[in-house]
């Protein structure tokens, strides 16, 4: 994992549907070199494919991350997907879980997760709902066609939706630009020694510029309101470098806590998104 690999992963976070050629322009590589780097990252378990999501506010849902400590197995992590409002589960290198939920009733969803996993969560984080323009039935059809393959080619999208290429392109670009639809890479962690990519949850009200000075290469993935938190994609030389940088962030005024998250795997179930999207299509 070098600086170019990291910039490539950041470019995928910004536009996961970009072609190899477009990604190459972002990171000063040829299209074949981009392809080869992604294959190498995939072989090492860092890059694990793509995932699709929407702003749950559009579905009249909250966005709540629920955290569970412990030494979970992959099968144990998958148990969380049986709860109706769970979108995905991040299985951590330390064995813990971060469970992304889109509930209407936050307390009920947490109770169901607690019952399913047999233990109480160690914490929760709520994202602020935002006001956004309504998504049309036509646009929901485009989202539905992307659920199983977020990088589905334009021609296949036109065939699946019955819309013209111009219409699909226009509405898809608008959904992504307005951050109503998200297509992002699924990232794991290194399977060997050396530089690594990791996510950091920074809890507390602190200027982003101060966080960047402490952490170095970072990319803002998500921001939550209650408690105030930022989830960042970061790069470190080695575990010692990560430890030093995290300690530096922890000393900043206004910091409540800093949690390093090394994912083994992000386990996604498309069932929740597919069900909610098709409900919207049926409503017209």
pLDDT score, position 48: 85
Q: Quick one: 165 exposed, middle or buried, by C-beta within 10 A (0-12, 13-18, 19+)?
A: exposed
Describe the chain by its helix, strand, coil percentages, rounded to 5.
Answer: 45, 25, 30
The C-alpha atoms of residue 111 and residue 98 are separated, in whole angstroms, by 16
The continuous run of DSSP H or E covering 1 comes out as none
Q: Which of 283, 277, 238, 276 is nearest to 84 (CA)?
A: 276
Q: Band of the pLDDT at 94, cuts 50, 70, 90? A: confident
Report yes or no: 215 and 200 within 8 Å, Cβ to Cβ. yes
E strand or H helix at 8: helix 3-14
Residue 171: pLDDT over 80: yes
pTM over 0.85: no
Domains and CATH numbers, the chain: 3-43 (1.10.10), 56-130+266-274 (3.30.70.980), 137-182 (1.10.10), 196-261 (3.30.70.260)
- The mean per-residue pLDDT over the stretch 243-259 comes to 88
> For position 190, what pLDDT does the model report?
56
Q: Do 87 and 65 form a contact (C-beta atoms < 8 A)?
A: no
- Per the prediction, the chain carries an average pLDDT of 89
φ/ψ of residue 223, rounded to 5: -135, 135
Residue pair 142/158 in contact by the 8 Å Cβ criterion: no
Q: Pick the residue with more confidence: 129 or 173?
A: 173
User: What are the two backbone dihedrals, phi and then psi, of residue 44, each rounded to the nearest 5 degrees?
Assistant: -95, 0
Interhelix angle 3-14/31-43, rounded to 10 degrees, is 100
Mean pLDDT is highest, among 242-246, 253-257, 276-280, for 276-280
Q: Which long-range contacts (CB under 8 A, 24 or more apart) does 221-227 make?
A: 221/13, 221/184, 222/127, 223/127, 224/63, 224/65, 224/125, 224/126, 224/127, 224/128, 225/126, 225/127, 225/128, 226/125, 226/126, 226/128, 227/125, 227/203, 227/256
Long-range contacts of 106-115 (CB under 8 A, 24+ apart): 106/62, 106/64, 109/64, 109/66, 109/83, 109/84, 109/85, 110/64, 110/66, 112/83, 112/84, 112/85, 113/66, 113/80, 113/83, 113/86
């Amino acid at each position: 994992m070098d600086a170019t690999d990291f910039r490539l992963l950041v470019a995928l976070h910004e536009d996961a549907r970009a072609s190899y050629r477009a990604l190459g322009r972002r990171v000063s590589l040829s299209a074949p070199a981009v392809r080869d780097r992604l294959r190498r990252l995939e072989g090492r378990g860092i890059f694990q494919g793509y995932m699709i999501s929407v702003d749950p506010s559009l579905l009249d849902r909250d966005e709540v991350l629920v955290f569970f400590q412990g030494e979970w197995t992959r099968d144990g992590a998958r148990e969380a997907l049986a709860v109706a409002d769970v979108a995905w589960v991040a299985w951590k290198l330390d064995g813990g879980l971060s469970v992304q939920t889109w509930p209407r009733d936050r307390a009920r969803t947490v109770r169901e997760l607690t019952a399913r996993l047999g233990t109480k969560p160690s914490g929760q984080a709520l994202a602020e709902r935002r006001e956004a323009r309504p998504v049309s039935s036509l646009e929901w059809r485009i989202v539905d066609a992307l659920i199983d393959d977020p990088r589905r080619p334009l021609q296949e999208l036109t065939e699946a939706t019955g819309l013209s290429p111009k219409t699909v392109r226009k509405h898809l670009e608008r959904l992504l630009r307005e951050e109503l639809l998200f297509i992002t890479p699924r990232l794991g962690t290194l399977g060997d020694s050396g530089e690594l990519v990791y996510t950091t949850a920074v809890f507390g009200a602190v200027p982003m510029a101060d966080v960047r000075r402490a952490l170095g290469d970072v990319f803002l993935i998500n921001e939550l309101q209650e408690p105030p938190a930022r989830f960042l994609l970061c790069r470190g030389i080695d575990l010692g470098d990560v430890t030093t940088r995290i300690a530096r962030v922890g000393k900043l005024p206004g910091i409540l806590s800093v949690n390093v998250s090394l994912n083994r795997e992000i386990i996604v179930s498309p069932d929740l998104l597919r069900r909610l999207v098709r409900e919207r299509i049926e409503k017209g």
